[in-house]
Structure 1
Amino acid sequence: MDFELTEEQRMIATSARQLGERFGTEYWRKIDAQKAFPTECWKAICEAGLCGVALPSEYGGSDLGVVEMALIIENLAAAGAGSTVGQLFMINPIFGGVSISKFGTPEMKQELLPKLIAGEMNFCMALTEPDAGTNTLEIRSFAEQEGDGWRLNGRKIWITAVDSAQKMLVVARTKKIEDSKSRSDGLSMFMIDVDRAGLTHSAIDKVGTNTLAASSIFFDDVEIYPHELVGTLHGGWRELLDVLNTERIITTAGLIGTSELALKLAVDYANDRKVFGDRSISSYQGLQFPLAQCYAENEAVRLLNYKAAANFDRGLPYGSEANAAKLLAAQVTARATERAMQTMGGMGYSKEYYVERLWRDCRLFRFAPISEEMILNYIAMHDLGMPKSY
């Protein structure tokens, strides 16, 4: 058991931190206010070779792993971006990159992966539906066979970054549930153009993560071409899990970096702030202890997430570690951002001191991409051996 990073991993982490500092808290404050996609930052991430760290080298990637991706996201988040930076990696190298590299045709890989890795093309994934939510097997969007292709009708909701994407990974039924052998039979994945007749989307007004829009999507007789099928027709459920399974690790990495940044902002403020006499407020145990507690918990989550990522890269089971790390990371980051705001008093509530954005953004991850309650269900069933409760 070795807890030391390799020299290459340390270099990757340092490069990510330095790049993140070029696009620090002020950059993210401005684009949050503008509700704008972080185009400049993402382009710089791609130009530095960080986007394709876990993707095949023959298409411009680095053939490394999720450990390295987690290190990159942690450091970008801690340098100023906060938790939403993990979503940039989720929509592109995960939803786009993993689906294509593992299940795409040779032509699809050759056409799309170099553009993704270079930052010339953005992706999104349309999975969640209003009446299904977490229960993916109940999705109703239906792609009906028409000649060699399909016609898609249905609706999706809470789909991230549709407005900035050129390609969309769509998960739909290609068999009706009543005609399927099981609930998981009859799901398929397609990689289609966002700009396509019959596909419309509208943004949802939300509390945070403003740099990446969340949208409702409507499919009205959208044509899907034969070459846009990703993976196995009707057999997309197991393949989809391979695309989704790193979500927790990526999300957790962004939350770990956010806690680190929130604590730094709080300590820097407290060291400078004097209220009663010459002593800074950072000398008060009433402020020290909550921040120290958050630090200790965040470091524990960091190690658990590294274990999940390392297990993934080695082909070992990692679900228990990834789920537990994501559960704890969301809770710790909620407390860390809250305590940072409390340390700053009224200034913590102002946009000038940045913590309010971290606080707003991280709240999403208490229930996305999977809720705390569903993680606890997983732990109860898979780790404790208790019966299914839902």
Structure 2
Amino acid sequence: MDFQFSDEQKMMVDSARQIGERFGLDYWRKKDAAKAFPAEYWKAVCDAGLCGAALPTEHGGSGLGMMELALIVESLAATGGGSTVGQLFMINPIFGGVSISRFGSDKMRAELLPKIISGEINCCMALTEPDAGTNTLELKSFAAADGEGWRLNGRKIWITGVESASKMLVIARTKKLAEAGSRTDGLSMFMIDVKREGLTHTPIDKLGTCTLDSSSVFFDNVRIEPDELIGTLHKGWRELLDVLNTERIVTTAGLVGTGELAIRLAVDYAKDRKVFGDRPISAYQGLQFPLAQCHVEVEAARLLNHKAATNYDQGLPYGSEANAAKLLAAQTVARATERAMQTMGGMGYAKEYHVERLWRDARLFRFAPVSEEMILNYVANHDLGMPRSY
């Protein structure tokens, strides 16, 4: 395994770092307080060609890989954005870009990929449902055949980025469970317009990740055209998994960058803070050891995620590594942001010191986009060969 970065990778990381530093922590504090989409930031990311790093060159991307995308997200997160950066890449180059580039028609790729890569349009994905949660195979949203197209009815919940999106990747049943040959049969993916008759959404007030809205989405006899199908009718389950496992990689990269940033903010504060005499509090092992432990674990999550990304780029199985890296990163960064706040004492609770935002945002990723418990189920079943418990 080669741990050295190529010149091209170094250039992309440097470009990401410069963009991140140009906006900085105060930009994110203000956007968080306003609950506003970071439009200027995302435009700068797209203008620098970073959104399309892993997307095809014929449609304006760089034609690189998931490894490069992970490095970009890490750097952007570590320079101020935190774990929300992973979500920005999740909804656009993953939900939009990967789904279309891998499973969309030639027409869809030519029409939509350049707009996603340039930042002209944003995307979102409507998967989770109130009565299904992580159990995707039990989703009830149904697209019934209607002429050459379909009519969609149902409800989704906790859908990220609907307010800023033009396109929505929708996963729905196209066969009733009773008619399907198996539980995985009869799922299909569609790319539809967010602004469409019968599609409505309402915001969910929440603790963190405030720069990206979360919504309940309702489909009331929504028309889907034939050319909006992505992938194979009724056989979308395996294709969806490809999208979801790459989602894990950018989520973990955002968390790794968050851990790096939180630890750095805590160390910088501790070097300046003096309470008992002239020695900074950074000299006390009671503060050193927890931060050092978090640093070690963040680096372990980073390397495991790099392995997942490299495996993906080489066409090798990567699901186990992607899920394990996300589990480790989410747990580690929960501790790292907590320890950073503890190191700062009362100032860690103040918005001007930024760590409280990192802490609020990172907490989401212990149960989303997949919960710790479901990842452990996956590891037990797929990696250890233990019987399914649910």
Give, in angstroms, the shift of residue 255 of structure 1. 0.5
CA distance in 2, matches of 1:148, 1:365: 39
The aligned residue for residue 367 of structure 2 is 367
TM score, norm. by length of structure 1 = 0.99
Q: Which residue is 2:78 aligned to?
A: 78
Moved more, 276-285 or 348-357: 276-285
Report 1:42-57 matches (<5 A): 42-57=42-57
**Structure 2: distance between partners of 1:333 and 1:73:** 15
Aligned ranges 1:195-206 → 2 under 5 Å: 195-206=195-206
Aligned to 1:187: 187
Question: Post-superposition shift, 1:102?
Answer: 1.2
CA-based RMSD of the aligned residues comes to 0.7
The amino acid of 1:361's aligned partner reads D
Tell me the residue number matched to 1:240. 240
Contact between 2:231 and 2:239, CA under 8 Å: does it hold in 1? Answer: yes
User: How far off is 1:320 after superposition?
Assistant: 1.7
User: 2 CA distance for matches of 1:2 and 1:189?
Assistant: 37
For 2:331, the equivalent position in structure 1 comes to 331
| Paired position in structure 1 for 2:136 | 136
Which one is further off, 233-242 or 253-262? 233-242
3-state SS, counterpart of residue 163 of structure 2 = helix
Q: Structure 2 CA distance, aligned partners of 1:243 and 1:321?
A: 15
CA distance in 1, matches of 2:227, 2:18: 41
Taking structure 2 as the reference length, what is the TM-score of the superposition? Answer: 0.99
CA contact (8 A) 2:245 2:323 kept: no
- Equivalences for 1:82-161 in 2 at 5 Å? 82-161=82-161
Q: 1:125-147: per-residue Cα shift (whole Å, max 9, x none)?
A: 10110111101111110111111
Q: Match of 1:173?
A: 173
Structure 2 counterpart of 1:267, one-letter code: V
Counterpart secondary structure, 1:207: coil
Find the aligned partners of 2:165 and 2:224 in 1 and give their Cα distance: 17
Aligned to 1:339, the other structure's residue is in SS state helix
Displacement, 1:332?
0.7
Mapping of residues 9-48 of structure 1, within 5 Å? 9-48=9-48
Q: Deviations over 1:125-175 (max 9, x none)?
A: 101101111011111101111111111100000000001000001111111
1:169 corresponds to which letter in structure 2? L
Cα distance in 1 between the residues matched to 2:17 and 2:93: 19
Report the Cα offset of residue 99 of structure 1. Answer: 1.1
* Matches of 1:354 and 1:271, distance apart in 2: 17
Secondary structure of residue in 1 paired with 2:145: strand
Whole-angstrom distance in 1 between the partners of 2:22 and 2:128: 35
Task: Name the CA distance, whole Å, in 1 between partners of 2:232 and 2:366.
Answer: 33
Rounded to whole Å, the distance in 2 between the matches of 1:79 and 1:153 is 42
CA-CA distance at 1:108 after TM superposition: 0.9
Give 1:41 shift. Answer: 0.4
Q: Take 2:243 and 2:261, find their aligned partners in 1: how far apart are those partners? A: 29
1:309 counterpart = 2:309: yes
Structure 1 segments of 4+ aligned residues over 4 angstroms from their partners = none
CA distance, structure 1, for counterparts of residue 92 and residue 320 of structure 2: 25
Q: Which amino acid aligns with 2:263?
A: L
- Per-residue CA deviations over 1:169-203 (Å, capped at 9, x if unaligned) read 11111111111111111111111110011100001
Give 1:254 shift: 0.4
2:157 is matched by which residue type in structure 1?
A: I
Residue correspondence of structure 1 range 227-376 to structure 2 within 5 A: 227-376=227-376
Per-residue deviation at 1:301? Answer: 1.2
Give, as a single letter, the amino acid of the residue that structure 2 aligns with 1:249. Answer: I
Superposed displacement of residue 318, structure 1 = 1.4
Shift of 1:341: 0.3
- For 2:388 and 2:350, the matched residues in 1 are separated by 45
Q: Secondary structure at the match of 1:215?
A: strand
Aligned to 1:3: 3
Q: Quote how far apart the aligned CAs of 1:234 are.
A: 1.1
CA deviations over 1:264-296 (Å, ceiling 9, x no partner): 100111111111111111111111111011111
Q: Secondary structure at the match of 1:368?
A: coil
Structure 2: state its 5+ residue gaps.
Answer: none
Whether 1:66 and 2:66 are equivalent positions in the alignment is: yes
The amino acid of 1:335's aligned partner reads: R
- Using the aligned pairs only, state the percent identity: 76
User: What is the CA-CA distance between 1:2 and the residue it aligns to?
Assistant: 1.4
The worse-fitting range, judged by mean Cα deviation, of 254-263 and 235-244 is: 235-244
Rounded to whole Å, the distance in 1 between the matches of 2:138 and 2:95 is 20
**C-alpha displacement at 1:23, in angstroms?**
1.4
In the aligned structure 1, how far is the partner of 2:83 from the partner of 2:164?
19
Query: For residues 310 and 226 of structure 1, what CA distance do their matches in structure 2 show?
Result: 35
